[in-house]
Amino acid sequence: MAKESTTIDVGEPSKVTKSTSHVVVEEKTKKGFVAAAAGGGYKRGLAIFDFLLRLAAIGITIGASSVMFTAEETLPFFTQFLQFQAGYDDFPTFQFFVIAIAIVASYLVLSLPFSIVTILRPLAVVPRLILLIADTVVLTLTTSAAAAAASIVYLAHNGNANTNWLPICQQFGDFCQTTSTAVVAASISVVFFVLLIIISAIALKSH
């Protein structure tokens, strides 16, 4: 009795399985690229906003330091031995303000290349982390300078009855106006630094 031979071809299902798995891997890879591109675009927008804030903060800090540096007023009346004059260098706190805010402005200029790197490489962690740490340190310097100068400006406007410190702004009105403007500008730069730190924190958190 002749035996019938049966041939089983298993090659075709294997090819189908390999082809299907290859398609699945390609789809997952494409989805990963799309997600990365979406995240990169979001972070690039944050980086551009960061760069613009730094440019604005540079202008404000340079203006604040320059305005305080030029704060000076001489009263039109004087005696044979006395001349009534007030300048920023008469107050150590104002001198500290000028130096500190000038340092802050210099730092902002030096931080621009790092900000540009975050625009070109929005997924990079190291430059963003460096900016976050440096901005936090410089924020403390800016806040201390602005707060110290604000306390002197307050005394100049209102005096202190307990210590018999008389207000001088009634006589040196222009001087007080100039120093007040510088303090307000420095306070605005503090707000900018807070925004910069928040931007860096958001960018790092989304990694």
How does pLDDT run across 92-117, given as a tens digit for each residue?
A: 999 999 999 999 999 999 999 999 99
In single-letter form, the type of residue at position 28 comes to: K
Please give the DSSP secondary-structure letter assigned to residue 90: G
What contacts 127, CB < 8 A, 6 or more positions away?
A: 114, 117, 118, 121
State the Cα torsion 188-190-192-197 to the nearest 10°: -170
User: What does the pLDDT read at residue 28?
Assistant: 45
Tens-digit pLDDT profile for residues 181-198: 999 999 999 999 999 999
d(Cα 160, Cα 116) in Å, to the nearest integer? 48
Place of tokens 């924020």: 139
pLDDT of 49 strictly over 90: yes
pTM passes above 0.85: no
Tens-digit pLDDT profile for residues 121-172: 988 899 999 999 999 999 999 999 999 999 999 998 888 888 778 888 888 8
Tens-digit pLDDT profile for residues 65-101: 999 999 887 777 665 556 677 888 888 999 999 999 9
Q: How many CB atoms lie within 10 A of CB 125?
A: 12
